[in-house]
Amino acid sequence: MPDDRTDGEDAPDATDGDALLVRERSTPEGRLVSVCDAGLIGTTHETADGEVSLEVTESFYGGEARDRDDAAEALVRAEVANLVGDRAVTLAVEADLVEPTNVLDLDGTPHAQFMRL
């Protein structure tokens, strides 16, 4: 996506821990969008009881560094979404795409998914 910033603000950088990484792909179920806080790539998180484990891989979550507005636009287009990290999940909750009660706590790292039916 071209960056048309004219206000002197730098575009998000994937090496910036504050960046949101967004990956969009087509699947048989529709457009899948994965969003994560950039600093989480390569980490693994579990629920306290060990029932659920999530590995934040480059192959699934690694994508283009985007600002909040661009990430929100991608999520609005999604039929299926996977989100991990404080900023990513907060964005989806604030956009009314995920209910706070549906957010899973994985070692203090929030994770959420949604699917449009």
Structural domains of the chain, ranges and CATH numbers in brackets:
20-115 (3.30.1860.10)
What length does the chain have?
117
Structure tokens given for 100: 């706070």
Residues 22-62 pLDDT 10s: 999 999 989 999 999 999 999 999 999 999 999 999 999 99
pLDDT band at 7 (very low <50, low <70, confident <90, very high): very low
pLDDT band at 15 (very low <50, low <70, confident <90, very high): low
What's the mean pLDDT when you consider all of the chain? 88
Q: Is the pLDDT of residue 11 over 80?
A: no
Name which residue leads in pLDDT, 74 or 7: 74
E strands of the chain, at which residues? 20-27, 30-37, 44-46, 53-55, 64-66, 80-84, 104-106, 109-115
- Position 13 scores a pLDDT of 59
For residues 92 and 116, is the Cβ–Cβ distance under 8 A? no
Q: How far is the C-alpha of 10 from the C-alpha of 1, rounded, in Å?
A: 15
Hey, is 100 helix, strand or coil?
helix
pLDDT > 90: percent of the chain: 82
For residues 84 and 39, is the Cβ–Cβ distance under 8 A? no
